[in-house]
Amino acid sequence: MSIREHSSIQAVRTEGRIARNRVRDSLPSFPGVPYLYILPFFIFFAVFLAFPVVYTLYLSFFEYHGVGEGFLFAIDLGVFAVEVPRISNVEFVGLENYTRMVGDGLFWLSMWNTVIITVFQMPLMVLVSLGVALALNASFIKLSGLQRTLIALPVSANFVAYSTIFLMIFSEQFGLANYVIQLVGFEPIAWQSDRWWARVMLAITLDWRWMGYNMLILFAGLQNIPGRLYEAAEIDGASAWQKFRYVTVPQLKPMLLFVIVLSTVGSMQLFSEPFIITEGGPSNSTITILYYIYDQAFVYFNLGYASALTYVLVGVVTALSIIEMKIGGED
Amino acid sequence: MSVASKKPDLPVQFGVYISLLIVIVLTLVPFYWMIVGATLPQDQFFTYPPRFLPGTHFFENLADLRDRFPYLLSIWNSIFVATVYTVLSLFLCSLAGFAFAKYEFAYKEYLFYFILATVVLPVQIMIIPLFLLMANFGLLDTHIALILPFAANPVGIFLMRQSMKSIPDSWLDSARIDGASEFQLYYRIALPSVKPALAALAVILFLFQWNAFLYPLVVLTSEELFTIPLAIERLVGQHRLYFDQIMVATALAIIPITILFLLLQKYFVRGFAGTAYQP
């Protein structure tokens, strides 16, 4: 904004509302302008977002036989032709892809693995990030900003790169984790070869990556609680615990719910970490649902079945988010 | 600002500090371990007990890595793809966001909420059709295939509309009186007045593309086109023994972005806290 523009704003303002409307009416009108502005976005949106979302649903009722050739339909309009290519060669199978899941043991195992890893991972992460956010928000803490920055550092770590570091930390023979565990007098842990420890290892890895991120969100939420609420509670003689219970918790609840829903949605889409660190093993105990979809789609090229699995995943994610918001919205 | 106006007892304060210190150490250990691994010669890294002090072998390891894999090219590919994607997406989102914030047109609300509703859809739902589309367009194994999808970003258009709503109509009207064209309103007034929001969105978009793994894994096959995540995956998958070099690769992937995070922290935080987006 230049000074000249500012002064002309003032001039328009002083003319008053009626005068301004008259000015606006006298301006040349460009009815097409907003459409022109949203057009590029909508072209990309239609081709790369709306179409794929619908096409995945469509594919879930078909069996895939390879990339398509020719056109689904072509209309010659004289000036130009509308040609919609057949992008895949498919055969209608009705609900077969969905009924197939019922008897697919690996599908259920991948669901189970995903849920188990989430259950191991999320409570610890939410509790620690809440605790850290509360501590950093306390008045007596020095260097709160610096500590916040250090704890938030993992938010900048590339998924595949940090997974690789944890692959080494949890190496059974030479890893740092087992070294420290033996140092304090325990037996080394079979991180890579025991089904349950492999899931715990992934949970720890995810906690490291996302704790700081959630702490930042919760910290922002704490900062937004108006100070007068605490002052009022103090005047009423509330103890520290009471202030936490009756001011902080209710005020922070929307943010806490946000963090929990976000984490659930994120864990249900877990892929890079098991792909890099465990490769789904040992004995498929860390194959997540998205990992299984990837295998079905791009290793076996069962694109129809993979599409059906994708829609089931989306359904589960949506259902879980709604349930969490319902539970969180009560009381 | 502060939760408690009265300071708690000293032992409590001490306990809080110790707890925070533990969290900070646990946060930093993997970074430190990465640096140790990247700077030690290979035969000294996989030893028992593990080494705890960094060595001086970084450039030798880097040279070995470059003999094994065109990794510097992967870094360039990642920067190139993420930058072009970010610029394209910022343009699409800000232009459309401006229309939704400052113009009236038919079905405006419906269109906007239709776009916004797609925020809840996970990116994975589009991958199979995107793969087929790119196969049909002949764009498999190209960077264009990474850049075009996800450019029309619902989070982006939402952020742009929200921040541009606060631009006073009178600014736009007076600029029109001064003879500005409609497009000048966009790039002379709207864009400069939402710079912080643009920066926050740029961070979100850049990191989204920078971290993307599953979709590039599906689309790219040539090593010389690989982005950083694919390159590291290939190294881990096929050259698992050379962990010194793999740690150099991860260090080069993580350290520059960490420095960027330290410099642009407020935009990172604004981007994270302002959106429901876990890329």
Calculate the average pLDDT of chain B: 88
**CA of B67: how far to CAs of A34, A38, B137, in Å?**
53, 48, 34
Q: In 10 A of CB A299, how many CB atoms?
A: 9
Q: How many whole angstroms separate alpha carbon B208 and alpha carbon B242?
A: 28
Per the CB < 8 A criterion, the answer to whether A230 and A243 are in contact is yes
How sure is the predictor about B6, in pLDDT bands with cuts at 50, 70 and 90? Answer: low
* Set of chain B residues whose Cβ sits within 8 Å of the Cβ of A50: 118
Spatial CA neighbour of A269 closest among A210, A212, A328: A210
Token digits of residue A254: 């929307």
CB B67 within 8 A of CB B127: no
Residue B4 located in a structural domain: no
Q: Does B211 map to a domain?
A: yes
Q: Would residue B279 count as lying in a domain?
A: no
What is d(CA B220, CA B214) in angstroms, rounded to the nearest whole number? 10
What is the Cα–Cα distance from B253 to B262, expressed in whole angstroms? 15
**Quick one: B158 and B26 in the same domain?**
no
Q: CATH number of A101-329: 3.40.50.1100, 1.10.10.60, 3.10.180.10, 1.10.3720.10?
A: 1.10.3720.10
pLDDT of residue A83 exceeding 50, the answer is yes
C-alpha–C-alpha distance, residues B212 and B206, integer Å: 10
The answer to whether residues B197 and B159 touch, using CB atoms and an 8 Å cutoff, is yes
- In chain A, whose CA is at the least distance from the CA of B261? A156
With pLDDT > 70 as the criterion, what percentage of chain A qualifies?
87
Q: How confident is the model at residue A196 (pLDDT cuts 50, 70, 90)?
A: very high
> Do residues B143 and B104 both lie within one domain?
yes
User: Average pLDDT of B224-248?
Assistant: 90
Interface check A227 vs B, CB under 8 A: yes
For residue A229, which amino acid is it? L
Mean pLDDT calculated for residue range A26-50:
83
Q: Which two tokens stand for residue B235?
A: 């190294």
Please tell me whether residues B78 and B169 are part of one structural domain: yes
Same domain, yes or no, for B152 and B51? no
Predicted ipTM of the assembly:
0.89
DSSP string, A65-126: EEE--SEEEEEE-SSSEEEEE--EEEEE-TTHHHHHHHT-HHHHHHHHHHHHHHHHHHHHHH
Residue A86 φ/ψ, nearest 5 degrees:
-80, 110
Q: What is the pLDDT of residue B85?
A: 97
Q: Under an 8 A CB cutoff, do A5 and B247 touch?
A: no
Average pLDDT over residues A189-216: 94
pLDDT of A227 over the 80 cut: yes
Q: Which are the contacts of A198, defined by CB distance < 8 A and separation ≥ 6? A: A191, A192, A278, A281, A282, A285, A286
Residue B42 identity: Q
Residue B164 has pLDDT above 50, yes or no: yes
Structurally, chain B folds into a number of domains equal to 2
- Single out the residue of A164, A49, A245 nearest to residue B89, CA to CA: A49
Q: Of B23, B39, B56, which one is at a domain's C-terminal end?
A: B56
Task: Give chain B positions within 8 Å (CB) of A67.
Answer: 132, 135-136
Measure the CA–CA gap between A138 and A153, rounded to whole angstroms.
21
A35/B105 CB distance under 8 A: yes
Q: What is the structure's pLDDT at B278?
A: 34
State which residues form the domain around B181.
Answer: 65-274
Averaged pLDDT, B59-87: 94
Q: Is B195 in the same domain as B244?
A: yes
- pLDDT tens-digit series, residues B245-261: 999 999 999 999 999 88
B3 falls within a domain: no
Confidence of residue A106 (pLDDT cuts 50, 70, 90): very high
Which residue in chain A has the smallest CA separation from B170? A9
Domain shared by B17 and B121, yes or no: no
The domain locations on chain A are 31-99, 101-329
Q: How confident is the model over B102-145, as pLDDT tens digits?
A: 998 888 999 999 998 888 788 888 999 999 999 888 899 999 99
- Give yes or no: residues B20 and B156 share one domain: no
CA distance readout (Å), A292 to A57, A67, A119, A269, B88: 18, 21, 19, 11, 32
CATH number at residue B171: 1.10.3720.10
> Cβ of A84 under 8 Å from any chain B Cβ?
no
Same domain for B169 and B52: no
Within this chain, do residues B36 and B113 fall inside the same structural domain, yes or no?
no
- State whether the Cα torsion B247-B250-B256-B262 is positive or negative: negative
Tell whether the torsion through CA atoms of A223, A227, A230 and A234 is positive or negative: positive
Pair B124, B232 in one domain: yes
CA A217 to chain centre: 14
Question: Which chain B residue has its CA at the smallest distance from A212's CA?
Answer: B27
Residues B70 and B52 in one domain: no
Residue B118 lies in a domain: yes
Which of A29-33, B20-24, B274-278 tops mean pLDDT? Answer: B20-24
Is the separation of the CB atoms in A164 and B232 below 8 Å? yes
Does residue B246 sit in the same domain as residue B155?
A: yes
**Is B1 contained in some domain?**
no
Q: From the list A41, A169, A276, which residue is nearest B33 (CB)?
A: A169
Per-residue pLDDT at A206 exceeds 50: yes
What confidence score (pLDDT) does residue A29 get? 53
Mean pLDDT of A94-114: 94
Of the two residues A320 and A330, the one the predictor is more confident about is: A320
In this prediction, residue A328 carries a pLDDT of: 80
| A122 confidence band (pLDDT: 50, 70, 90) | very high
Identity of the residue numbered A69: E
Rg of the Cα trace of chain B?
24
CB contact under 8 A, B26 and A166: no
Cβ within 8 Å, pair A48-B157: no
Q: Do A179 and B49 touch (CB under 8 A)?
A: yes
Summarised one tens digit per residue, pLDDT across range A61-72 is: 999 888 777 666
